Amino acid sequence: MRIIGLTGGIAAGKSTVSRRWAEHGAVVVDADRLARQAVEPGSPGLARVAERFGPGVIAEDGSLDRPALGAVVFADAAARKDLEAITHPEVWRLAQQAFDAAAAADPDAVVVYDVPLLAEARGSRPIRFDAVVVVDAPAAQRVERLVTHRGMARDEAERRVAAQASDEDRLALADHVVDATGDLDRTVRSADEVWARLLA
């Protein structure tokens, strides 16, 4: 089994790449999905989030109120670090379970770990990747995508992009780069080229 780390800033096009690679046979493990699992109602992770951030981040049904939490952590770097200290270890544990399951099902599997915050979490990363791929698009372009395609207010989009690692920090991790600066077809072509190099 090989494990490929796939990362990129918000709205870079990472989901497009992971979907494309799934079509090529990759087993995709989605860190965002694991992060939701880590704070499901009744989980120790959610209890720790509520303890740190207060009842205002818990919805009436007992689930995590993501917009409320997002408003706090994207405006406060210390709060964001506190949240990451709660969630990252649990996400890594769930990821390792998924990798083990993939290896048991197919020892030759190519597993793509789709993880937005790879650069931010590098100090707490127990997983050794066979390669790291960065989906790259400039910050200004990603802000435009958030405003145009997700309906986000520009100041919120700028805050979200600025809260993540810099493009330079992310690219410093890359063994390969998918160029997502153009349209969807160009991103898919670049993803296919990188996938071919990964299998070569």
* CATH number for the domain harbouring residue 68: 3.40.50.300
Q: Which two tokens stand for residue 195?
A: 């996938």
Q: Quick check: is 100 in a domain?
A: yes
Determine the longest span between alpha carbons in the chain, in angstroms.
Answer: 51
Closest CA to 138 of 170, 185, 186: 170
Structure token pair of residue 166: 């810099």
Orientation of helix 139-150 relative to helix 154-163, angle to 10°: 130
Torsion angle of the four alpha carbons 78, 7, 148, 22, in this order, in degrees rounded to the nearest 10: -140
Span 61-107, pLDDT tens digits: 999 999 999 999 988 989 999 998 998 888 888 999 999 999 999 99
In a domain, 200, yes or no: no
Q: What is the pTM of this model?
A: 0.84
Inter-residue contact 176 to 168 (CB < 8 Å): no
**How many domains, in total, are found in the chain?**
1
Is 106 within a domain? Answer: yes
Residue 9: inside a domain: yes
pLDDT of residue 120: 75
Domain range for 156 is: 2-194
Burial of 26 (0-12, 13-18, 19+ CB in 10 A): buried
User: In this predicted model, what pLDDT tens digit does every residue of 11-45 receive, in sequence order?
Assistant: 999 999 999 999 999 999 999 999 999 999 999 99
CA 15, distance to chain mean position in Å, is: 9
Q: Is residue 72 part of a domain?
A: yes
Is 173:119 a contact under the CB 8 Å cutoff? yes
pLDDT band of residue 119 (cuts 50, 70, 90) is confident
Look-up: residue for tokens 């860190």? Answer: 31
Give the chain's mean pLDDT.
92
Asked, for residue 74, whether it belongs to a domain, the answer is yes
* Domain assignment of residue 199, yes or no: no
Distance (Å, whole) CA 76 – CA 79 = 5
Is 47 part of any domain? yes
Instruction: Give the DSSP H/E element, type plus range, for residue 133.
Output: strand 131-136
